[in-house]
Amino acid sequence: ALGRGALYSSEASAIKRVAVVGGGQMGAGIAQVSATYEHGVTLIDVNHEALDRGHAYMAKSLARVAKKKFPEEPAVAHDWVEAVLGRVRRTTSLPEGVANADLVVEAVVENIAVKQKLFADIAGAAPGHCLLASNTSSLPIGRIAEPLDAPTRGRTLGLHFFNPVPQMKLVEVVRAAETSEQAVGRAVAFVKSIGKAPAVCKDTPGFIVNRLLLPYMMEAIRLLERGVADARDIDTAMKLGAGYPMGPFELCDYVGLDTLKFITDGWFKEGDGLRGDKAFAASGKLDELVAAGHLGVKSGRGFYDYSKK
């Protein structure tokens, strides 16, 4: 059973140690699910306060999971949470945090210069077999990997999780032009190992989910602008007529209107193959809400008012 087969077997290339860079909402969620499924995890952030917030986020989320998993056994639930949290080490040192990793998942601010610098630093400190993944929603993986050497670009890809990570089952596995087949295969196996479903796709704006959702959300806003129906009726129509769990305006408010505008403006201006695409042209209504600071659920008001809840 030794030789070539063993060398390239899933056992030899299996991911056991995961480093997550960025302890925000997404990073903490990715660390949490990785540790839940028995991976050894290191959570890395630039400051201790962010790591503490990440820890608190995981503890709270795990407590909810444990309550469902062990409804009659609070002591067992408590021990389970502690055991999962015990598999997550925290550090502010990037070189130390990635030194033994089989996979690094980056979930820091959505800024190309920051990510490029970070990937170069990770490549310099992580082992040669380590997969380098970005959780970016809107930046091309190929551009993040640009400063790296060719072999390192071969093991760089996107692993796009959805918010909230512990609940959302999908992970888009984004294959950049230079990502190797072996890297894609290992990433797919990792996604399955943490109880999620992978969807492999090319490195194009919005990947699959956002490429389909954003035109839909923008067109819903245009229906409203044209006076076809009000927001509540459009939401009701899509929930009951198309079976969507949320209507488009509920979804816009949940995602954040500033985020929606940031992404669609970016694609309209310079999205690969999308430049000038009418689907992503600015909307007067959206611009007005964002300018007024009505950003959705997080600001208390967007298309709907959340202040009285």
Report, in Å, the least distance between residue 167 CB and ligand NAI. Answer: 12
Residues serving a catalytic function are 137, 160, 172, 210
Q: Among all residues, whose Cβ is closest to ligand NAI?
A: 24
Residue ranges of alpha helices (H) inside the chain are 4-7, 10-13, 25-36, 48-69, 74-86, 94-98, 112-125, 141-145, 150-154, 181-193, 209-225, 231-241, 248-255, 257-270, 284-291
In this structure, the strands spanning 156-161 and 170-175 are antiparallel
**How many CA atoms lie less than 13 Å away from 127 in the CB half-sphere?**
12
CA angle 176, 257, 175 (to 5 degrees): 10
Which C-beta is closer to ligand NAI: that of 78 or that of 117?
117
Distance between CA 306 and CA 285 in Å, rounded?
Answer: 19
**Chain residues 136-195 in contact with ligand NAI, contact rule CB under 6 A:** 136-137, 161, 163
Please identify which residue in 15, 18, 20, 26 interacts with ligand NAI, judged by CB under 6 A: 26
DSSP sequence for 175-191: E-TT--HHHHHHHHHHH
Based on the shown chain and the rule CB under 6 A, indicate whether residue 20 belongs to the binding site for ligand NAI: no
Look at phi and psi of residue 44 and say left if phi exceeds 0, alpha if psi is from -120 to 50, else beta.
beta
Candidates 32-40, 79-87, 135-143, 230-238; binding stretch for ligand NAI (CB under 6 A):
135-143
Single out the residue of 72, 118, 77 nearest to residue 97, CA to CA: 118
Candidates 60-68, 110-118, 147-155, 185-193; binding stretch for ligand NAI (CB under 6 A):
110-118
Based on the shown chain and the rule CB under 6 A, indicate whether residue 45 belongs to the binding site for ligand NAI: yes
Candidates 31-39, 67-75, 103-111, 236-244; binding stretch for ligand NAI (CB under 6 A):
103-111
Based on the shown chain and the rule CB under 6 A, indicate whether residue 30 belongs to the binding site for ligand NAI: no
Candidates 41-49, 61-69, 235-243, 280-288; binding stretch for ligand NAI (CB under 6 A):
41-49
Based on the shown chain and the rule CB under 6 A, indicate whether residue 109 belongs to the binding site for ligand NAI: yes
Report, in Å, the least distance between residue 190 CB and ligand NAI. Answer: 17
Contacts of 99 (CB under 8 A, 6+ apart): 125, 126, 127
Single out the residue of 128, 127, 106 nearest to residue 117, CA to CA: 106
- Is 60 annotated to bind a ligand? Reply is no
- Is 266 annotated to bind a ligand? Reply is no
Based on the shown chain and the rule CB under 6 A, indicate whether residue 110 belongs to the binding site for ligand NAI: yes
Name the residues that contact ligand NAI, by CB under 6 A.
Answer: 21-27, 44-46, 50, 107-110, 114, 118, 135-137, 161, 163
Known binding positions: 22-27, 45, 61, 68, 110, 115, 137, 163, 298
